Amino acid sequence: MTEIVSVAQTDLKWPKYTGKVRDTYDLGGGFLLIISTDRISAFDVIFNEPVPGKGVILNEMSKFWFSITEDVTPNHLNNKDSQTFEEGILNLIPKHLVDRSMIVKKAERVNIECVVRGHIAGSAWEEYVKDGTINKNPVKQILHPGDAFLDPIFTPTTKADAGHDQSLSDDETVNLIGTDLFNALKSKSLELFNYAYEIAKLRGMILADTKFEFGFLDGELILIDELLTPDSSRFWDENEIQYGQFPPAYDKQFLRQWLMDKGWNQEPPPPALPNKIIIKTRDRYLEAYKRITGTELQLKKEIT
């Protein structure tokens, strides 16, 4: 039968760092090879079953956004001056990994995740209902499920390599990284969010929230990791928004909701994912890609 190629693990010759979804190889000379696998995590727990083709979607969507936001803020994507080097590296790796790979400039990562929220959902909604706060900051606005904030809000979290990320108040973030860097990250994150929000809205999609990651390269603050993918963002169809309800998700929230409905305690070990949930998750990722970029993504197949 015909199946989409699935990549859950990689094993190449360079020094490797394994994240929840990405395998990162240090190529030397200030360059990294980032491979988006088909692993999927929810509530910061990695599942045993991959989502075939998911890494290709993430990789292509990140490259799309890195390309159109480079005038807003620089990013770690390799530049044209090193195109020969990039082609040489891609020729050294298995062909089925090429369309899920990025060669990027190595930066010194800032160890917080810069979350921006335009609409209330997810953990922000849970905290608001429980305590009337978001990231421990009081909320004066009366909110209902899915409501837009008067202005997008910056809600950073810790960056956990394992386990759950933790929300940070403004004061806690300042204590971790200092006032100047906090202000720079907040300003740049809100600028990027507002830019991406308008792009998505032109395509009939609402960017409810997302997370950015930053690093320093030669003293300059740049975007790193992934950018505005269904793994790191919450996308809604503008036409499906109804007052007082969370709209259907075109991102990982579909999987999260299925897990919550099952009553999983969000701690390892994770439950097994049925094939229908895997397929529906991938379909939502593909639809988000198509709607946002305006192009179809053909996932490669193999005969098994």
Distance, in Å, from the CA atom of 53 to the CA atom of 2, rounded to the nearest integer, reads: 13
User: Given a cut of 80, is residue 1 above it in pLDDT?
Assistant: no
Task: Answer yes or no: is 18 within a domain.
Answer: yes
Which range (71-85, 100-114, 259-273) has the least confidence?
71-85
Are residue 184 and residue 102 in the same domain, yes or no?
no
pLDDT 10s digits, 202-222:
999 999 999 999 999 999 999
Are residue 256 and residue 114 in the same domain, yes or no?
yes
User: Given a cut of 80, is residue 297 above it in pLDDT?
Assistant: yes
- Whole-number pLDDT of residue 110: 97
User: Given a cut of 90, is residue 68 above it in pLDDT?
Assistant: yes
Are residue 148 and residue 89 in the same domain, yes or no?
no
User: Given a cut of 50, is residue 86 above it in pLDDT?
Assistant: yes
pLDDT 10s digits, 219-275:
999 999 999 999 999 999 999 999 999 999 999 999 999 999 999 999 999 999 999
- Whole-number pLDDT of residue 162: 58
Are residue 35 and residue 147 in the same domain, yes or no?
no
Global pTM value: 0.94
Q: Beta strand pairing status for 112-119 and 157-158? A: antiparallel
Task: Answer yes or no: is 272 within a domain.
Answer: no
CA distances for 203 relative to 26, 100, 179, angstroms:
37, 25, 36
- Whole-number pLDDT of residue 273: 97
- Other Cβ atoms less than 10 A from the Cβ of 242: the count is 10
The number of folded domains in the chain is: 2
Confidence class for position 303, pLDDT limits 50, 70, 90: very low
Of 65, 81, 108, which residue sits at a domain end?
A: 108
Task: Answer yes or no: is 294 within a domain.
Answer: no
Task: Answer yes or no: is 275 within a domain.
Answer: no
Are residue 64 and residue 176 in the same domain, yes or no?
no
Of 108, 142, 174, which residue sits at a domain end?
A: 108
Are residue 94 and residue 137 in the same domain, yes or no?
no
- Whole-number pLDDT of residue 301: 63
- Whole-number pLDDT of residue 163: 58
User: Given a cut of 60, is residue 302 above it in pLDDT?
Assistant: no
Are residue 202 and residue 78 in the same domain, yes or no?
no
Structure tokens at 192: 């990027």
- Whole-number pLDDT of residue 4: 75
Which range (111-125, 126-140, 158-172, 245-259) has the least confidence?
158-172
Are residue 85 and residue 206 in the same domain, yes or no?
no
User: Given a cut of 90, is residue 173 above it in pLDDT?
Assistant: yes
CA distances for 78 relative to 32, 180, 189, angstroms:
9, 28, 22
Per the structure, the complete domain to which residue 223 belongs is given by: 110-261
Are residue 187 and residue 239 in the same domain, yes or no?
yes
Confidence class for position 160, pLDDT limits 50, 70, 90: low
Task: Answer yes or no: is 212 within a domain.
Answer: yes
Task: Answer yes or no: is 102 within a domain.
Answer: yes
Of 54, 82, 108, which residue sits at a domain end?
A: 108
- Whole-number pLDDT of residue 284: 96
Report the CATH number that the domain containing residue 17 is assigned in CATH. Answer: 3.30.200.20
Are residue 81 and residue 176 in the same domain, yes or no?
no
Task: Answer yes or no: is 267 within a domain.
Answer: no
Report the CATH number that the domain containing residue 202 is assigned in CATH. Answer: 3.30.470.20
| Percent share of the chain, pLDDT over 90 | 89
pLDDT 10s digits, 272-289:
999 999 999 999 999 999
Task: Answer yes or no: is 276 within a domain.
Answer: no
- Whole-number pLDDT of residue 79: 67
Contact, 19 vs 68, CB < 8 A? no
Confidence class for position 304, pLDDT limits 50, 70, 90: very low
User: Given a cut of 50, is residue 148 above it in pLDDT?
Assistant: yes
Are residue 57 and residue 180 in the same domain, yes or no?
no
Average pLDDT, whole number, for the chain? 93
- Whole-number pLDDT of residue 293: 96
Are residue 220 and residue 252 in the same domain, yes or no?
yes
